[in-house]
Amino acid sequence: MYGWIWRHLPGNAWVKALLSLMLAMIVVYVLFQYVFPWAEPLLPFNDVTVDNQ
Amino acid sequence: MAATTDTEQHEHAGEDGPPEPGAGPRGRGPRRIVAQAVSVFGELLITAGLVLGLFVVYSLWWTNVVADRAADKQAEKVRDHWAQDRVGADGPGALDTKAGIGFLHVPAMGEGDVLVEKGTSMKVLNDGVAGYYTDPVEATLPTSGKKGNFALAAHRDGHGAKFHNIDKIEKGDPIVFETKDTWYVYKAYAVLPETSKFNVDVLDAVPGESGKKKAGHYITLTTCTPVYTSRYRYVVWGELVRTEKVDGERTPPKELR
């Protein structure tokens, strides 16, 4: 999977490394900005109130 | 290139015994497909591990950064609002409940103050503030002067973690609530280190579980416990000892000095 991505990135090793880093940063950004805020309320780590539901 | 070598190693590892002579590093046939599937599966597992690790970083660090930023901004707005009111003639109880009603100071939990806002929904609490209950039991605000229970909730971890050190509060410790013109000095008198999340009785106007039978001016702090999970709730009760007028310099009461 990662090998496939690496082989399909253009340029020499340095360009590939730079592009990989950028891809990784985009993935982290999407996770922090959209995926984790969506997933958090579904997980039982942060309910602090008492209620009768 | 490094990644290619990795894949090849995986392929070799997937095969039994040494590779057939002349088969080449790429291999062929069903064995190669199995090896490739194993390699992709392994990479997916590694990815899942990384994502879970990132989620921990997100919950315990990033949400604090975001929440503290939001809380600071709102707190500044409240303080500004108070200061402006002070300059002009004191308006008739111009209480800006939208941005926050006041600040909670608990020396036992550490330095600094916690902005208090209306409501205990995740949307409110995720801004790094404490919220007073409107549901299932409506909290009685100290500013109303009526007897009742001023019940609050805040995050234990992440999102500002404002009640992280709630377990450091002991009986007799001061809990001070600051509004525009009054310091409400409470004293913690009972702690419930573990209770069910369905135990809404702790928010009652007269919290029976704390040992009180008569109406009074109470404050209740609730959060989740043990740390990093929300299996149970942690509750601290306090009772109003006295109130103090805020002076021109906003000198804090002696409990905070």
- Give the CATH number for residue B173: 2.40.260.10
Residue B23 has what pLDDT? 45
Residue B5: is its pLDDT beyond 70?
no
Kindly state the percentage of chain B with pLDDT values over 90.
Answer: 69
Domain boundaries, chain A: 2-40
* pLDDT tens for each residue of B205-223: 999 999 999 999 999 999 9
If one counts the domains in chain B, the total is: 1
CA–CA separation, B221 and A48 (whole Å): 10
Average pLDDT over residues B175-204: 94
Q: Which of B166, B185, B224, B240 is catalytic?
A: B224
pLDDT computed for residue A30 by the predictor? 97
- ipTM comes to 0.89
Q: What is the pLDDT of residues B85-130, one digit of tens each?
A: 765 544 545 555 567 899 999 999 998 899 999 999 999 999 999 9
CB contacts < 8 A, A to B, total 91
pLDDT value, residue A47: 80
Q: How confident is the model at residue B26 (pLDDT cuts 50, 70, 90)?
A: low
**Residue B131 belongs to a domain:** yes
Interior CA angle at A35 toward A29 and A39, to 5°? 145
Bridge partner residues of B208 (DSSP): none
Residue B38 located in a structural domain: no
The per-residue pLDDT for range A4-37, each reduced to its tens digit, is: 999 999 999 999 999 999 999 999 999 999 999 9
Residue B25: pLDDT band with limits 50, 70, 90: low
Q: Is B157 part of the annotated catalytic residue set?
A: no
Residue contact B3–A50, C-beta within 8 A = no
The residues, any chain, with a CB within 8 Å of residue B229's CB and separated by 6 or more, are A44, A45
**B8 to chain A: closest CA residue:** A3
Q: Which residues form the domain of B101?
A: 96-256
Provide CB contacts within 8 A for B251, sequence distance 6+: none
Cis status of the peptide bond prior to B136, with omega within 30 of 0: yes
What H or E segment, with its residue span, contains residue B222? strand B217-225
Q: Does residue B221 fall inside a structural domain?
A: yes
Q: Is the pLDDT of residue B173 over 90?
A: yes
pLDDT at position A43: 84
B1 domain residue, yes or no: no
Q: How far does B67 lie from chain A, in Å, by closest CA?
A: 13
B83 band by pLDDT with thresholds 50, 70 and 90: confident
Q: Are B105 and B173 in contact (CB under 8 A)?
A: no
Average of per-residue pLDDT across A33-43: 91
B177 located within any domain? yes
pLDDT tens-digit readout, B131-167? 999 988 999 999 999 999 999 999 999 999 999 999 9
Q: Report in angstroms the alpha-carbon separations of B70 from B64, B73, B129, B170, B252.
A: 10, 5, 9, 30, 25
In a domain, B54, yes or no: no
As a whole number of Å, the CA-based R_g of chain A is 19
Question: What pTM value is reported for the model?
Answer: 0.80
Looking at beta carbons, which residues of chain B come within 8 Å of A46?
A: 59, 122, 155, 157-159, 224, 230
Q: What is the pLDDT of residues B43-70, one digit of tens each?
A: 999 999 999 999 999 999 999 999 999 9
Q: Which residues of A touch B224 (CB under 8 A)?
A: 46-48
User: What number is the average pLDDT over the span A35-48?
Assistant: 86
